[in-house]
Structure 1
Amino acid sequence: MIITKTREEIELMRESALIVSKTLGVLAKEVKPGVTTLELDKLAETFIRDHGAEPGFLGMYDFPNSLCMSPNEQVVHGIPNNTPLKEGDIISIDCGAYKNGFYGDHAYTFEVGEVDAEIKKLLQVTKESLYKGIEQFKLGNRVGDVGYAIQKYCEDRGYGVVRELVGHGLGRNMHEDPEMPNYGRRGRGKKFIEGMVVAIEPMINMGTQRIKQHRDGWTITTRDNKPSAHFEHDVALIDGKPQLLSTFEYIYEALGIQSDEEAPFKAQPTFN
């Protein structure tokens, strides 16, 4: 069952999402060769708690840390450890925060130092596909419209779209209806309705779409051990259109990146 949110609840969700956004912005300055994912995890936990929230992932389904840290061929759900990042790595950092009874949950894949051009292209296409999907999250459309947009954009460029892992509804629970696959058929699936909030999160592989789960019960990697990218936003359906609750602006500010990619999906100013 889809649980819609009031405008007031959506604003509380925006606050939770922005704590995640700011956490990722802080981490952006620290992602560099030599740092360990466990060091980044501790930094994130401290920042989240200092801003009046709780780490959304810590203890959820018995997950042991505050961040899912997934380098290179790891798709998602990597557990932070003491292995230093190295030049040329990429790393998906997925972060959650819980405040005022609601969750924020989104992710960004960072470059560690200088990465190969073909890996940069994977990250670029995956992030672009995120916005292709968000464009289709509008009144009257269905889950399949979002999945189809992401799938077509990535597969047309030769990448593998993970099937077993999906985005999801978001609210008082981290995972709510509907599931939001990154593949699908237009016009199929649950219909979008006003007040929905979802986490849209393409997980796109350099090679095969196939994945495997490791013995730790969490870590997911690509079957062919080629790199995977992951980007995620929290999006509300307001006045029939998608509106971002999360933002990459804090990341871009930290990294000196100029971008207007979020402009079509921002809240519009109101005038009295």
Structure 2
Amino acid sequence: MGSLQIQPRLVSSFMGARLFRFSTQHHLPHLFPYNQGTKHVSMQLSRSLSSITNLLFNRRNANELANSKRQRLRPGKVSPRRQVPKEIPRPPYVNSKIPAGIASGSEVHDENGIECMRASGRLAAQVLQYAGTLVKPGITTDEIDQAVHQMIIDNGAYPSPLGYGGFPKSVCTSVNECICHGIPDSRALQDGDIVNIDVTVFLNGYHGDTSATYFCGDVDDEARKLVQVTKESLDKAISICAPGVEFKTIGKTIHDHADRYGYGVVETFVGHGVGRVFHADPVILHYRNNERGRMMLNQTFTIEPMLTMGSINPVMWNDNWTVVTQDGSLSAQFEHTILITPDGAEIMTQC
């Protein structure tokens, strides 16, 4: 297994204090990593403090990993791409050379669009719930992918990750130190693992996007706590959303909660607008920031914090998708698609 440490200047079209605007998309190598670029003083201070904290995390985690029985994640064998019936509508990026990226323009919906988003979100939630019941020692992530794929197409929907920017599978399965974008393969889940399952479906022209982290067998208390706090950080972030609220409040809410428990907040990957387009504006940062922008009525986007027990620095495998923590420390993630309503926010990805 080879790996490549992600360098911001190499992986992102996001530069400076805001995004450069293109006519179609901000093309990013793989699923919207974010590059801060040059920030104002308060952001630079936050980054400096984050580096110091990360050093402490790295030292602590190096000792913990050395004393644990958990082995570093290694890639397994990836099975051939699964087929989708011809009659199921595909997103426009399938079988094209369109690179992964975030499209300009927010996803704001009329009543029909909202109902379509509810339908796609509900199906995504049902698929995710089913996938979670499969998590047990001995099952492979490829078997989970097979089950997810089948359930999605049985419901007349398309698995959004399949063929997106060349992604070879229908779901992302991120085990232990995998931050995100894990490719399902022949590795069997082991007792004590944690695994994030990230499901997106394309139904009636709209994407529903959600994820959760599950326990495999007997998971230790420290891993359970990380997962619990990550879920709490998402819930707290959703609770502050409403028309006119600044997007930066999301990052502060998540970061404040993670700090209470000494967890790192991954900064490289972001939430995003979702709807007719898989990834659109706005970019949702999960850490403290001073970005501009406010939430709009009938707007849909994801919030998907990734917290770690150690380093927040990502390393990408040679498959150009799988991203793991630099020090091998555990990472957890939860995600919902939400709709901004007159009274706050509606979670669209729940059963």
TM-score between the two structures when normalised by the length of structure 2: 0.69
1:76-225 aligned within 5 A: 76-185=180-289, 188-225=291-328
Superposed CA offset, 1:56-86 (max 9, x none): 1100111000011110000100001011101
Q: Does 1:70 align with 2:185?
A: no
Which amino acid in 2 is paired with 1:157? Answer: Y
Give the aligned residue type for 1:200. Answer: I
Alignment equivalent of 1:236, drawn from 339, 345, 349: 339
Deviation at 1:240, TM superposition (A): 4.3
Residues 160 and 205 of structure 1 are in contact (CA less than 8 Å); yes or no, is this contact kept in structure 2?
Answer: yes
Residues 183-218 of structure 1 show CA distances to partners (whole Å, capped at 9, x for unaligned) of: 1247x4211110110111011111122111111100
CA contact (8 A) 1:194 1:240 kept: no
1: CA distance, partners of 2:108 / 2:343: 13
Number of aligned positions between the proteins: 247
Whether the aligned pair in 1 keeps the contact of 2:339 and 2:346 (CA below 8 Å) is yes
**2:147 corresponds to:** 43
RMSD over equivalenced CA pairs, Å:
1.1
Determine helix, strand or coil for the equivalent of 1:61: helix
Aligned equivalent of 1:7, options 111, 133, 136: 111
Deviates more, 1:19-28 or 1:109-118: 19-28
For residues 105-146 of structure 1, the C-alpha deviation after alignment (integer angstroms, 9 at most, x for no partner) is: 110100001100000000000000001111122112111001
Q: Deviations over 1:23-75 (max 9, x none)?
A: 11211221100000001101100000001111111001110000111100001
Q: Which amino acid aligns with 1:191?
A: R
Unaligned runs of 5+ in 1: 250-272
**What is the rounded CA distance, in whole Å, between the counterparts of 2:273 and 2:106 in structure 1?**
8
Alignment partner of 1:93: what SS?
A: strand
Identical positions, percent: 37
| 2:140 partner letter | T
1:33 is paired with a residue of what secondary structure? coil
Segments of 4+ moved more than 4 angstroms: none
How far apart, in 1, do the equivalents of 2:292 and 2:118 lie? 26
Q: Which residue matches 1:32? A: 136
Distance (whole Å) between structure 1 residues aligned to residue 260 and residue 173 of structure 2 = 28
Per-residue deviation, residues 232-272 of structure 1 (Å, max 9, x unmatched): 0010001141011012x5xxxxxxxxxxxxxxxxxxxxxxx
Preserved CA contact (<8 Å) 1:159 1:208: no
2:128 and 2:210 in contact (8 A); partners too: no
**Whole-angstrom distance in 1 between the partners of 2:139 and 2:270:** 29
Query: TM-score, structure 1 length as denominator?
Result: 0.88
Aligned partner of residue 108 in structure 1, secondary structure = strand
* Structure 1: distance between partners of 2:199 and 2:230: 18
Distance in structure 2 (CA, Å) of the matches to 1:17 and 1:182: 21
